[in-house]
């Protein structure tokens, strides 16, 4: 299988001087694979994900997604194929209503309104948030916000899905709904999923490959 993500000896230095080194292993994720990244708080899990989607540039090392260096201009054309849910979802919820937020990316890519309407409604129903469509995202609960952010990522039919502690502080029913949906997407669409999690029950359900950061 082709590697969707490849990272060679990642090092990053933040402005406050904090340094993250992930150089003890070559990280890769193959097409159609589910990889769960585990590790203690502060070990660099979120840093790793932020490099994969191009939110951070490495101080040292190389990060390739779909065979392209994420720091190169060529990666901009591939961003639509990468969906992400950040650990702090407030950073990515920007529209006045749930439905508008979910529709934001396809609208920017000039999808037809009829297709956007159909896809948004379908995803909201799958995630059990259709009743929230006219609500302001920032007034929702933490779990509801994560569902909205996930819907906004899934509407683009991403080939690669990046999830940072998606299941943290989420009720059991929501966890089950989302887990089933993600497993279905992985099997039917061969969506590559890379997620961080420290919850053993969630990891067991996905039957994924585990990448542990010490």
The 10s digit of each residue's pLDDT in 2-19 is 899 999 888 898 988 888
Cα–Cα distance for residue pair 112/92, rounded to 1 Å: 23
Is residue 98 within 8 Å of residue 125, measured between CB atoms? no
Owner of token pair 């070990």: 43
User: Mean pLDDT across the chain, nearest whole number?
Assistant: 92
| Count of structural domains within the chain | 1
Who has greater pLDDT, 199 or 62? 62
Range of the domain at 159: 3-213
Whether the pLDDT of residue 214 is over 70: the answer is yes
Predicted local distance difference test score (pLDDT) of residue 44: 87
Q: ∠ at Cα 50 (48, 51), nearest 5°?
A: 65
Residue 174: per-residue pLDDT: 93
Residue with tokens 């490495």: 58
State residue 213's pLDDT score: 85
Predicted confidence band of residue 143 (pLDDT cuts 50, 70, 90): very high
Tell me the whole-structure pTM to 2 decimals.
0.93
Please compute the mean of the pLDDT values over residues 22-31 and round it to a whole number: 83
Q: How far is CA 9 from the centre of its chain?
A: 22
How far apart CA 102 and CA 131 sit, in angstroms, is 14
What count of other Cβ atoms lies within 10 Å of the Cβ of residue 14? 11
Residue 24 has pLDDT above 80, yes or no: no
Distance between CA atoms of residues 116 and 58, nearest Å? 35
Over residues 41-84, the pLDDT tens digits come to 878 899 999 999 999 999 998 999 999 999 999 999 999 999 99
pLDDT digits (tens, 9 = 90+) for 168-198: 888 999 999 999 999 999 999 999 999 998 8
Assigned token pair, 113: 């309104």
Looking up residue 203, the CATH number of its domain turns out to be 3.40.50.300
Q: Which of 125, 170, 127, 184 is nearest to 150 (CA)?
A: 127
Give the whole-number percent of the chain exceeding pLDDT 90.
74
What backbone phi and psi angles, to 5 degrees, belong to 72?
-90, 155
> What was the pLDDT predicted at 185?
95
Query: Does residue 129 register a pLDDT over 70?
Result: yes
pLDDT the model gives residue 100: 97
| pLDDT for position 53 | 94
């Amino acid at each position: 299988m082709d590697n969707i993500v490849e990272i060679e000896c990642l090092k990053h230095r933040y402005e406050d001087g904090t340094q993250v080194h992930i150089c003890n292993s070559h990280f890769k994720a193959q097409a159609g694979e589910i990889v769960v990244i585990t590790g203690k708080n502060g070990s660099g899990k979120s840093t790793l994900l932020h490099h994969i989607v191009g939110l951070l540039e490495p101080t040292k090392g190389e990060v390739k997604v779909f065979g392209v260096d994420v720091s190169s201009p060529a990666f901009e054309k591939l961003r639509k194929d990468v969906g992400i849910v950040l650990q702090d979802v407030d950073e990515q919820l920007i529209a006045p209503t749930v439905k508008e937020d979910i529709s934001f990316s396809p609208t920017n890519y000039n999808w037809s309104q009829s297709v956007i309407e159909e896809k948004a409604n379908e995803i909201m129903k799958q995630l059990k948030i259709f009743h929230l469509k006219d609500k302001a995202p920032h007034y929702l609960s933490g779990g509801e916000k994560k569902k909205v952010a996930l819907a906004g990522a899934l509407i683009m039919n991403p080939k690669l899905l990046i999830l940072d502690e998606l299941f943290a502080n989420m009720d059991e029913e929501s966890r089950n709904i989302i887990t089933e949906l993600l497993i279905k997407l992985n099997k039917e669409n061969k969506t590559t999923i890379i997620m961080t999690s420290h919850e053993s029950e969630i990891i067991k359900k996905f039957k994924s490959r585990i990448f542990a950061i010490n």
